[in-house]
Structure 1
Amino acid sequence: MSEPVTWLLLAYRIPSEPSRLRAGVWRRLKALGAIYVQNAVAALPTDPAAERALRSLRAEIAEMDGASAQLLQADALAGGADLVTAYNAARDDEYEEIVDRCRDFLAEIERETANSHFTYGELEENDEDLNKLRGWFEKVAARDRLGAPGREAAAKALEQCARALDGFADAVYAADTDAP
């Protein structure tokens, strides 16, 4: 049995208008990897970085006209496994999106190979795309504090993309060497 998780809970109230304020808070919480326990109550596993980020966000919300926010640290007395499951499901959704984008990347490499489009420009573009995928994976992995099972599939998909790019690079170099 795994160790119980202590949670940081941000409970807030923001006036409905202007809606950009609510949307901004939602985006910040999403970027941190928070899950919503219920409307306007977001949860993150406790760690120093999460606490700093939520304290800062709470202070920003408290400065908004007509808004309030409280930051709590809590242990689940019951339903803790549900929170862990929801948190890991949110990470798995992100990992699955990375896997989907890796499939797109591989399809692009296959198209370029089938069309013998072995140019340095295409290689550079694909290299940039792979670097973006890696950066995205690193962001999700940094939020993955509870070991979501989808991480392994995303890591393997990225390795497959790297191998495909290496093969494409070899074809580009061979085409360059064979050029008159």
Structure 2
Amino acid sequence: MAGQTERMSEPVTWLLLAYRIPSEPSRLRAGVWRRLKALGAIYVQNSVAALPQDPTAERALRALRAEITQMDGGTAQLLRADALAGGADLVTAYNTARDEEYTEIVSRCRDFVTEIETETAASHFTYGELEENDEDLTKLRGWFDKVAARDRLAAPGREAAAKALDECTHALDGFAAAVYAADTDAP
């Protein structure tokens, strides 16, 4: 935790993508918005997105800028910036976006554990159910990994999401043991 606190107190250099895309067709705007969201970018204002600087973010934003400039009427500039004032607000906005994603993961993990409990209460100990739940947990882990990869500023919600995933793993392990026991007990 100390490393996270130190990291947060250091000034963050930001990459800013300022772009303009014609309003029609709207799919172009939506596509850019989806790409920026997938990268974890936050909007500083309309058509100005920010990411903490790192090589991966820079490559992605350079590629996106190139795509925007190829659009009919599209323009884009990629800037490197240090906040002279309001830097903590940017960090807070960035971490809030990650925490919202982590909160969603925690919620889905609760649903996962509830599903395991429901199947256990119904004694629905089948390999098919085990496989389905294992796939669901794999998806949750993949989602967490994607969010964690873009969590470059140590959002506080990460710990709760990691703990929720551990609880899912524990629940699935218990369910698997019950499936194996039911298989052994079967005539």
Give TM-score, length-normalised by structure 1: 0.99
Residues paired across the two proteins, number:
180
Query: Match for residue 11 of structure 2?
Result: 4
Q: CA RMSD in A?
A: 0.5
Runs of 5+ unmatched residues, structure 1: none
Cα drift, residue 125 of structure 1: 0.2
Runs of 5+ unmatched residues, structure 2: 1-5
Query: Match for residue 94 of structure 2?
Result: 87
Q: Which of these residues, 106, 109, 119, is aligned with residue 102 of structure 1?
A: 109
- Are 1:39 and 2:46 matched, yes or no? yes
- Are 1:133 and 2:140 matched, yes or no? yes
Give TM-score, length-normalised by structure 2: 0.96
Aligned mates of 1:18, 1:9 — CA distance in 2: 24
Q: Which of these residues, 13, 19, 32, is aligned with residue 26 of structure 2?
A: 19
Q: Would you identify which runs of 4 or more consecutive aligned residues in structure 1 move more than 2 Å?
A: none
Query: Match for residue 183 of structure 2?
Result: 176
- Are 1:118 and 2:128 matched, yes or no? no
Equivalent position amino acid for 2:163 in 1? K
Cα drift, residue 60 of structure 1: 0.3
Cα drift, residue 32 of structure 1: 0.2
Identity of aligned residues (%): 86
- Are 1:160 and 2:164 matched, yes or no? no
Equivalent position amino acid for 2:69 in 1? A
